[in-house]
Structure 1
Amino acid sequence: MSKYLNILIAILVISCNSTEITKSMVDTKTFVLDPTENNKIPISEVIEEVIFLPLETTNESLIGDIHSVKYFNNKYFIQDRDKVLCFNADGTFLSKLGSFGSGPDQYSSCDQFIIDEINGYLMINNQRTGMELLMYDSTLQFLSKRKYNDPLESIIPIDGKGFCFYFGNRNSESHKHYVKTLDNDLNFKDNFIEKSFTIDHSITSPFHGSYSYQNKAYVYPMFENVIYEVDMEGYSLKYRFDFGNYTITEEFLKSIEGLSSRDQMFALKESKYIYNIDRIFESDRWIYFQYYSGTEGMHTVLFNKELDKIYDTRGFTHMPDFGMMSLMYGMDGDDIYYTLDPNLLHGTSEEAVNFQKFILSKNEPIRKLKDKTENGDNPILVIAKLKSN
């Protein structure tokens, strides 16, 4: 059996109780992966160029805990824990999106940053404290604040016509569907993808269960190892992940339904199963995703659609050619976004010293960054450009 098999399942018919699916026949791409196989092709083999972009550090632009990086209208938008910061293409700070507070044009939590590319809207999902969607135009000017009714995992624009509301794994009977569609005024349209079992959503990572590609919504419910494509009329099964004997079974999930959240998590970690596909990005030529294996740690995978080829590395990404990067935070075409902490260039901790020994003696661009940055500076945006073939 080869290390990676990529097989095509044709003519897959999906149905749901609430709505007949318009795409009744669709090709589903299945990724067959062996989480125990160690002979992987490193992601660094497909990196053509790396650009290090220091992000200007001011009192107004301090970055703490990055959630996402997005590129739109020649600007970088960095979602921090409770704010969205906008930087010009050269890394200079431009502005913060909106303001923190309880006023009619303010938000008190920034749980998700959303871009509707067709309508040119920038949005902040104020989920934890208000269940509100704040709308801004492409010049960062406030437009409106719109309320919604039910707690959710994420919001994704669809074709400029409305939104996909993804609810994730929640116990409430009112959330028996993973997905609702709403129009641009947040009026309810339809339910999609009814759930067959329930595991408490509190053990999952919120806001990592969906992504946007080609102005459509893609959701990947926890424990199912699949990705659904959603539009305003229905949904279809787009990708399936097959980990052989490590693919989680519905029988196992049903066996732990009655346990507490704590015991559910213990059972999942002690099992042999791959139970979480996370942080997925897709472009015309690439798909990036992560999955967690209890004994092997985090796998980061990059799939080339044109070559039908998978590149995989274990743990957090270690790329000796250009640095030790943290999680990937975004993708735009053939560019993928990581960050580099300037404290690693200047610090005296064991991690920093090891990094300096490993990298600074070999890498001229990073060595030059040491002269341009200081402890406490904003993260350096690392733009890795993928090879064209």
Structure 2
Amino acid sequence: MIKLTFYFLTFISIWCLSSCNVVSNNEEETKYTTSVREVISQKSQALPLSNYCSSIKYILLESRKEAMIRKLLRIEFSDKHLFVSDGKKILKYHLDGTFVRQIGSVGKGPEEYGAGRVNFVLDPVHEEVFVWNTQGQVVVYRQTDGMYLRRFSVRQRILDMAYSKSADRLVVVGQRTEDKEGDLFLYKDMKRYDRMGMATDSLNYHNSSKKHIGMGSICYSLKDHIHFMFGSDDLMYEMNSDGSIHPYIHFDFENSVSYEQVDVRKNSYPNYLQVLSPVEMDDALFYVIKKGFNRKEVKFYFSVFDKKSGQSTLAKHIIDDIHGVGTFWPVQITDSGIIGQASASTILSECEKKNIDKATLGLQDLTMESNPVVIIAK
């Protein structure tokens, strides 16, 4: 009886301690806070790129027929190559823009990825490319030669992925099919599946308390941390290499209409606010604010949050004052720097308007028919 009482009390103590930890994590204050409504009330201004980086490089992607790509939706770098996707295919280039090969192909075969919008993430530890679609299908190829390795499924609708090099884990922002809650899933051993091809080695680390999630969900790796947020949430979270998760940035919407309050049958929600496309540097966070809900009333604002001052600035343009070429807006963060892109026509127009020799940008072969230009700022 004494033993049973001891075990029972021990269990209750552990349960209470774990419960306290959960409460503590939920009530933990965010590292940064910014008022979104205050930001959009500002007068927009042009901000020089030199405020945030010291160098900028332009890469012209080779434009032969098999290397053509319409728009760069994702860009990832390995030590010697860059990989890009336009949502339909994944292409590999040398760092100077020379085309190498296509990774995989669209189709219904066992070594192909299905039709529809596809995306990818690089595993720098094992030199693999994970190609995925929103339905939870993942196809894995070797980075070096594009050779098919394996395929598997996850039990979530995949919204975004990142690879934590320090923790050697694949991080998935996903949604369970039976509800609309956003979850963060971590996969350690990507070669463990059940007989139906489902990945089994997953840990559910985070739940967003029934926040609506959608294409606004984002997940990316920054040095030793993973940062992620869900579609209509007002919080960005930070996951450390030990797997612990903390509130990172609170975007204060100040009693604006939330997604949970929206009735899709109504046409007008001018006070609806949402944060999209955050891209981060050491000292700054670039992000887009969406105001309004339906297409006719929606407006987009660009903002830069300064971590040192804790202030956000409404940005009309980010000016490449290093080269004097024109505007720049970051679209992605990698260990190589913040990544932007520009169409060939935009670059050529800027060079002509400002009498800039395109060769000074390393774009001497740029023509109107060229691929989009990759821009790296550090």
User: Which of the five TM-score ranges fits, normalised by the shorter chain?
Assistant: 0.7 to 0.9
Counterpart in the other structure of 2:132? 125
Counterpart in the other structure of 1:12? none
1:228 and 2:237 correspond: yes
Moved more, 60-69 or 360-369: 360-369
Residue aligned with 2:156, SS:
coil
User: Deviation per CA, 1:294-333, whole angstroms, max 9, x where unpaired?
Assistant: 479333333444565655413x7565831245x5332345
Query: CA separation of 1:190/1:175 partners in 2, compared to 1, >3 Å: closer, same or farther?
Result: farther
Is residue 279–residue 331 contact of structure 2 (8 Å, CA) maintained in 1? no
User: Deviation per CA, 1:203-252, whole angstroms, max 9, x where unpaired?
Assistant: x436x522222354322112222111236745221111124x4x535xx5
Query: CA separation of 1:106/1:60 partners in 2, compared to 1, >3 Å: closer, same or farther?
Result: same
Counterpart in the other structure of 2:352? 360
Query: CA separation of 1:57/1:367 partners in 2, compared to 1, >3 Å: closer, same or farther?
Result: same
Offset at 1:280? 2.0
Structure 1: segments with no counterpart, 5+ residues: 1-14, 347-355
Is residue 113–residue 125 contact of structure 1 (8 Å, CA) maintained in 2? yes
Superposed, 1:268-283 pairs within 5 Å as 270-275=269-274, 277-283=275-281
Counterpart in the other structure of 1:336? 338
Distance 1:141 1:285 in 2: 39
1:31 and 2:29 correspond: no
Distance 2:227 2:111 in 1: 30
1:292 and 2:290 correspond: yes
Q: TM-score, normalised by structure 1?
A: 0.72
Query: CA separation of 1:338/1:133 partners in 2, compared to 1, >3 Å: closer, same or farther?
Result: same
Is residue 43–residue 314 contact of structure 2 (8 Å, CA) maintained in 1? no
Distance 2:364 2:225 in 1: 43
Counterpart in the other structure of 2:172? 165
Distance 1:29 1:39 in 2: 22
Residue aligned with 1:108, SS:
coil
Query: CA separation of 1:144/1:329 partners in 2, compared to 1, >3 Å: closer, same or farther?
Result: same
Distance 2:157 2:18 in 1: 22
Counterpart in the other structure of 2:7? none
User: Deviation per CA, 1:157-186, whole angstroms, max 9, x where unpaired?
Assistant: 344443333125x7x544534223333233
Structure 2: segments with no counterpart, 5+ residues: 1-16, 191-198
Is residue 23–residue 234 contact of structure 1 (8 Å, CA) maintained in 2? no
Counterpart in the other structure of 1:187? 200
1:248 and 2:251 correspond: no
Offset at 1:101? 2.5
Query: CA separation of 1:50/1:165 partners in 2, compared to 1, >3 Å: closer, same or farther?
Result: closer
Counterpart in the other structure of 1:217? 226
Is residue 46–residue 318 contact of structure 2 (8 Å, CA) maintained in 1? no
Query: CA separation of 1:49/1:31 partners in 2, compared to 1, >3 Å: closer, same or farther?
Result: same
Query: CA separation of 1:215/1:112 partners in 2, compared to 1, >3 Å: closer, same or farther?
Result: farther
Counterpart in the other structure of 1:94? 100
Q: CA RMSD in A?
A: 3.6
Question: Which AA in structure 1 matches 2:97?
Answer: G
Residue aligned with 1:360, SS:
helix
Question: Which AA in structure 2 matches 1:194?
Answer: N
Distance 1:282 1:225 in 2: 16
Query: CA separation of 1:20/1:363 partners in 2, compared to 1, >3 Å: closer, same or farther?
Result: farther
| Identity percentage of aligned residues | 15
Distance 1:283 1:317 in 2: 14
Residue aligned with 1:60, SS:
helix
Moved more, 102-111 or 78-87: 102-111
Counterpart in the other structure of 1:111? 118
User: Deviation per CA, 1:261-319, whole angstroms, max 9, x where unpaired?
Assistant: x64xx44xx332322x22223343443322223479333333444565655413x7565
Counterpart in the other structure of 1:351? none
Moved more, 118-127 or 291-300: 291-300
Distance 1:38 1:292 in 2: 17
- Aligned residue pairs total 339
Q: TM-score, normalised by structure 2?
A: 0.74
Residue aligned with 1:153, SS:
strand
Counterpart in the other structure of 1:380? 373
Larger C-alpha radius of gyration, 1 or 2? Answer: 2
Residue aligned with 1:57, SS:
coil
Counterpart in the other structure of 2:86? 80
User: Deviation per CA, 1:44-103, whole angstroms, max 9, x where unpaired?
Assistant: 352544433221111111011321122221322211121111221211112222233333
Question: Which AA in structure 2 matches 1:376?
Answer: E
Superposed, 1:4-43 pairs within 5 Å as 20=22, 28-33=31-36, 34=38, 35-38=40-43, 40=45, 42-43=47-48
Is residue 227–residue 239 contact of structure 2 (8 Å, CA) maintained in 1? yes
Offset at 1:121? 2.8
Counterpart in the other structure of 1:70? 76
User: Deviation per CA, 1:116-153, whole angstroms, max 9, x where unpaired?
Assistant: 2334332111335x722424345544322122233221
